[in-house]
Amino acid sequence: MSPFKQRVIQIVRAVPRGKIVSYGQVALYAGAPRAAREVGWVLHATEGSDLPWWRVINKAGVITIRGALFVDKEIQKKLLVAEGVEVSDSFKVDMKKYRFVATDKQLREFELPEEYIGTIIRQKGF
DNA sequence: ATCTTGACTTGCC
DNA sequence: CGGCAAGCCAAGA
């Protein structure tokens, strides 16, 4: 398993109940700012594990799950609603309200280079 | 090695 | 807002 995958898993696990992160955000925390699509790939590949994959959606706050065999938008919506996250009929979530932002301490636990953490902190919006 | 395919993002109308 | 093209990068074929 690649280090990237390991980090993605670790990061997603750090997302608390009722909170949401975007793929790009996870990619950023994982040290690969432009690897958002790979995050989706990793989640897909780890289907069946205890990973809270449903807390990862796209940046616009929309559930964009595609072509999954055993999971679909409805399932994900249900899982989120069960945690107290409001999901609209068009599968949209209020990111401003539910977005999870990693603390400095957590970022350090992700074992990223010190200067890279500075880069992340400098990033205001995603 | 080369080409296609995404559970994505960003920028430009 | 909404649609579209390009960018990105790992996996599979």
Give me A67's structure tokens.
Answer: 């072509």
Task: Kindly report the bases of strand C lying within 7 A of a protein C-beta atom.
Answer: 7-12
pLDDT tens track for A100-112: 988 888 988 888 8
Total domains in chain A come to 1
Burial status of residue A75 (CB atoms within 10 A of its CB: 0-12, 13-18, 19 or more): middle
**pLDDT for the residue A69:** 53
pLDDT category, A56, cuts 50, 70, 90? very high
Give the nucleotide at minimum CA-to-C1' distance from A43: B7
Nucleic strand C within 7 A of Cβ A34: yes
The domain of A116 spans 3-122
**pLDDT for the residue A19:** 94
Nucleic strand C within 7 A of Cβ A31: no
**pLDDT for the residue A21:** 94
As a whole-number percent, the residues of chain A with pLDDT over 70 amount to 94
> The pTM is what?
0.91
Contact A8, A2 (CB under 8 A): no
- As a rounded value in angstroms, the CA-to-C1' distance for A1 and B2 is 24
Give me A103's structure tokens.
Answer: 């603390």
Q: What average pLDDT does range A46-69 have in this prediction?
A: 84
Here the CATH number for the domain that contains residue A10 is 1.10.10.10
